[in-house]
Amino acid sequence: MTAAAVDTEREPEEIEGTSYLRAGYSLRSWLLTTDHKRIAILYLLSITFFFAIAAVAAALIRLDLITPEGDLLSNEGYNRAFSIHGIMMVWFFLIPSIPNTIGNFMIPLMIGARDLAFPRLNLLSWYIFIVAGIFALFVVVAGGVDTGWTFYTPLTTMYANGAVVATVLAVFISGFSTILTGLNFIVTIHKLRAPGMTWSRLPLFVWSHYAVSIIFVLATPVLAITLLLVAAERVFGIGVFDPSLGGDPLLFQHLFWFYSHPAVYIMVLPAMGVVSELITAGAHKKIFGYWFVAYASIAIAVIGFLVWGHHMFVSGQSVLASTAFSFLSIAVAVPSAIKVYNWTATLYKGDVALDAPLLYAMGFIGLFVAGGLTGLMLAMLAIDVHVHDTYFVVAHFHYIMVGGSVTAFFGALHYWWPKITGRLYNEVLGRISALLMIVGFNLTFFPQFMLGYEGMPRRYHVYPQEFQVLQVFSSAGAGMLAVAYLMPLTYLLWSLRSGARAPANPWGATGLEWTTSSPPPKHNFTEQPVVVRGPYDYPLAHPRSRQDA
Amino acid sequence: MPEQSRAEIQFHHIGRQREAERLGMLVFLASEIMLFGGVFLAALALRMLHPQEYVAAASHMKLWHGTANTAILLTSSLLVALAVEWTRGGRPKWAARCLWAAVALGLTFLGVKAHEYYLDYREGKLPGAANANFSTPFEQLFSNFYFSVTGLHALHVTAGIILLALAALRGEARHDRHAVFIGNVALYWHLVDVFWIFLYPTIYLAGAGE
């Protein structure tokens, strides 16, 4: 056994007929596959579909907000539009986005394994997701709900209109898909690493997925039991959240945010993993402070469990509890900041190639810093009381969830697209859409910080005249964002037909996934990789020049 | 290497696959603990909000049914633990007998539970039933909570019984695959048992002094 398998000296050519894409062409070979790469593709197709639904809802919201009178939608229609937008985006796009597509595809490749530990469980998790998705689609067809994505009681249990129980069940079921994915990742990372792939050699993408899997497994069941109680409350009136029987509506908020704040880290941790890969590959430089970045992921996962109370500063929580939650919420910014500093330091004096993936990654850093700093403001009691439930909060979490996670998702898609499909996309169009996304995003959401600070409450579609200019800016930005999302859809799909064939390592990047052919064979590697070097061992002994791409 | 040939493609050898299965079960149990954690948190919150009413409502519970069921589940867990030992020690017949006995005890538990539900129903403590009557709103809430939680637990017991029966059917064959399977099923059964050990004071003992 030599180190040959991890060297990039040898260019692994795709041997005709061995690619996972050619392992079968029938529908059955896709729907009953246990290949993690094919399941990742199944997930990619499904979440793109849900993203489209959620985006249409967002478009309706932004169109309606162009005029202060809310001419497009009725009050009820507006409530339903933002509820569908939130529920679909959070549970049917963002949470599965990076882990279930890129993570599912890349984790076994990155650690030198042939598949995940439990391939059948992986397929089951997709089917559970689809069952949940069918419930969610039923909700859309049945006219939606007006609960918002947070399902607050007693609104959800007693007053809300629409298919509330179906919505709650959809989210409940999707949770099991998440738990199974997390379980699979944890066991895979523990037990399937290639010889020589020690914990200190794991790519940071894998570290952040390990951290996110812990949240998947420990937070999601709390949401499950909470939603079960909400559904039981709505159908049978069991009363745990009903004050008239002696229950406590605030208990719902505690349970919900115990899941849903860590869920924010579910959305952003995989994105951080992506950015670590994109930055090192773009700068052709070893990551600055490997262990700090790795442990920062774990620290975020752990502290993230202890900050939920900052959603409840104005819910009548005791001052002592609020102070503790405020402190912890500020503390969780420390590991996030460590990551940002280390990424920036990695770029310093790097051999930087401003390709589309790196543009997305740098966009992530900028937008994440803006979202993170406003998050610090919101963690402080006095400021939060002022801007609670305003557009300031809306802008803050969109900077994290869209500016951060969605940007990273697109960066990941561009970076690994040649590996996943074996085709190169049009790099110029890639750069244009990356820039468009960053500009469009800021145009959409920066005005919302100003609106919120001026007092524009969230979830209202009729607003005072003086807010109109900023609202129109925001809607114009949303139009740009739509173009920035549709462009990759077009040229990425086009590359499948007409793109040039991708070499094994188009970016000159380290990492085991680049040592196998593009696309990889069915069992990932033709021979068992043996790892003899640390991660991000730049510059490569024989770097693939960027002219390859 | 006959052992190696039985491992699934993604594992280097069968030992690694066994470790992965065990770790997978432990991670799953962690997630189950968080599920029931929500239940216990709700119980704690209700009790702190209404200390006297909680105790008064709990005093209507059938203490002896709960106690008997605690003894039944603990005994079944002992049998399952013995089955694991005997499988490892190469005595699969005894292991299978223990597992079947545990299945019987699990069914007994469900039987006792059903009888308790029936008595509750006759006393008008079943929410939604025609004869339902509660002296206070909180008593109704407690009763709702009791049925939801014990119902959720009974679902877990049912799943556990099915797994135990599967393990018993395979316990006759003697090789390590079954030892690992039985070990994992045993872990699940012990956890279901532990949940009950916490539910017993939460629901039954809370009102025992009244």
| Per-residue confidence (pLDDT) for residue A11, from 0 to 100 | 55
Alpha-carbon distance of A132 to A181, in angstroms, equals 15
Q: Is A162 helix (H, G, I), strand (E, B) or coil?
A: strand
Q: Which domains does chain B have, with CATH numbers?
A: 14-207 (1.20.120.80)
- Among A271-275, B41-45, B171-175, the range scoring the smallest mean pLDDT is B171-175
pLDDT of residue A524: 93
What pLDDT is stored for residue A467 in this prediction? 96
Q: Which of the four pLDDT bands, split at 50, 70 and 90, describes residue A15? A: low
* CB contact (8 A) between residue A117 and residue B38: no
Q: What is the pLDDT of residues A501-520, one digit of tens each?
A: 999 999 989 999 999 999 99
Q: Distance between CA A131 and CA A137 in Å, rounded?
A: 10
Give tens-digit pLDDT for A415-458.
Answer: 999 999 999 999 999 999 999 999 999 999 999 999 999 999 99
Q: Give me the interface pTM, i.e. the ipTM.
A: 0.92
Model pLDDT for residues A148-182, shown as the tens digit of each residue: 999 998 888 888 888 999 999 999 999 999 999 99
DSSP state for residue A11 in the 8-state scheme: -
The answer to whether the beta carbons of residues B66 and B153 sit under 8 Å apart is: no
Mutate to test the interface with B, among A36, A187, A229 (most CBs of B within 10 A): A187
B43, closest residue in chain A (CA to CA): A240
Q: Closest approach of chain B CAs to the CA of A310, in angstroms?
A: 19
Q: What is the mean pLDDT of residues A381-393?
A: 94
Helix (H) or strand (E) holding A320: helix A319-331
Per the CB < 8 Å rule, is B42 touching A251? yes
Contacts of B137 in chain A (CB under 8 A): 239, 244-246
A332: closest CA of chain B, how far (Å):
22
Give the pLDDT confidence score for residue A549 in this predicted structure. 38
Is A225's CB within 8 Å of B39's CB? yes
Instruction: Scan for tokens 């033709």, then name that residue.
Output: A526
Contact flag A248-B49 (C-beta cutoff 8 Å): yes
B141 Cβ under 8 Å from any chain A Cβ: yes
A219: chain B residues, CB-CB within 8 Å = 34
User: Which pLDDT score, from 0 to 100, does residue B88 have?
Assistant: 84
> Measured between beta carbons, which residues in chain A are less than 8 angstroms from residue B20?
117-118, 187, 190-192
Out of A170-174, A186-190, A340-344, A536-540, least confident range:
A536-540
Q: Which of A214, A355, A170 is nearest to B27 (CA)?
A: A214
Report the residue from B16, B39, B127 with minimal CB separation from A191. B16
Residue A19 · residue A521 · CB < 8 Å: yes
Count of alpha carbons within 13 angstroms of residue A149, beta-carbon side:
19
Q: Assess whether pLDDT exceeds 50 at residue A7.
A: no
Distance of CA A472 to the CA centre of its chain: 28
In angstroms, what separates the C-alpha of B206 from chain A's closest C-alpha?
Answer: 18
Asked if A118's CB is within 8 angstroms of B23's CB, the reply is: no
Q: How far is B204 from chain A (nearest CA, A)?
A: 19
Mean pLDDT confidence for A24-52: 95
- Minimum CA–CA partner of A213 in chain B: B27
Give the pLDDT band of residue A546 (cuts 50, 70, 90): very low
The answer to whether the CB atoms of B138 and A236 lie below 8 A apart is: no
- What sign does the dihedral A289-A293-A298-A300 (CA atoms) show? positive
Mean pLDDT computed over every residue of chain A:
92
Residues in chain A within 8 Å Cβ distance of B46: 240, 246-248
Q: Is B2 on the interface with A (CB under 8 A)?
A: no
**Interface contacts A/B by beta carbons within 8 Å:** 119
**Most A CBs within 10 Å: which of B14, B34, B52, as the mutation test of the A interface?**
B34
DSSP-assigned letters across all residues of B100-164: HHHHHHHHHHHHHHHHHHHHHHHTT-STTSTT---SSHHHHHHHHHHHHHHHHHHHHHHHHHHHH
Per-residue pLDDT tens digits for B91-121: 888 889 999 999 999 999 999 999 999 999 9
* Banded pLDDT at A201 (limits 50, 70, 90): very high
The answer to whether residue B140 neighbours chain A at the CB level (below 8 Å) is yes
- pLDDT for A16 equals 53
For residues B180-207, one letter each, b for 16 or more C-beta atoms within 10 angstroms of the residue's C-beta and e for the rest, the string is bbbbbbbbbbbbbbbbbeebbebbbebb
Minimal-distance CA residue of chain A relative to B30? A218
Q: What is the pLDDT of residue A14?
A: 54
- As a whole number, mean pLDDT of residues A322-339 equals 96
Q: Which of B10, B42, B45 sits opposite A119 (nearest CB)?
A: B10
Residue-level pLDDT at B178: 72
> pLDDT tens-digit profile of A54-113?
999 999 999 999 999 999 999 999 999 999 999 999 999 999 999 999 999 999 999 999
> What whole-number distance in Å separates Cα of residue A287 and Cα of residue A204?
9
- pLDDT band at A542; cut points 50, 70, 90: very low
Torsion over CA: A22, A23, A27, A33 (sign): negative
Please give the C-alpha separations between residue B184 and each of A187, A450, B160, B179, B191, in angstroms, as whole numbers.
15, 56, 11, 9, 11
Average pLDDT over residues A14-42: 88
Task: Output the pLDDT for position A194.
Answer: 95
State which residue of chain B sits closest to A216, comparing Cα positions: B31
In this prediction, residues A238-255 reach a mean pLDDT of 91
pLDDT tens-digit profile of B5-41?
Answer: 467 888 888 888 889 999 999 999 999 999 999 999 9
Higher per-residue pLDDT: A13 or B110: B110
Using the Cβ of B154 and the Cβ atoms of chain A, whether some distance falls under 8 Å is answered with: no
pLDDT of residue B134: 87
Local confidence band at A403 (pLDDT 50, 70, 90 cut-offs) = very high
pLDDT of residue B125: 86
Which tokens hold the place of A291? 């262990």
Taking an 8 Å cut-off on Cβ atoms, the answer to whether A119 and B28 are in contact is no
Contact A183 B24 (CB under 8 A): yes
Q: What is the pLDDT of residue A13?
A: 56
The predicted model scores a pTM of 0.94
Mean pLDDT computed over B73-95: 91
d(CA A262, nearest CA chain B) in Å: 14
pLDDT of residue B183 exceeding 50: yes
Please identify which residue in the block is written with the tokens 């037990």: A191
CA A444 to CA A200: how far, in whole Å? 41
A240/B46 CB distance under 8 A? yes
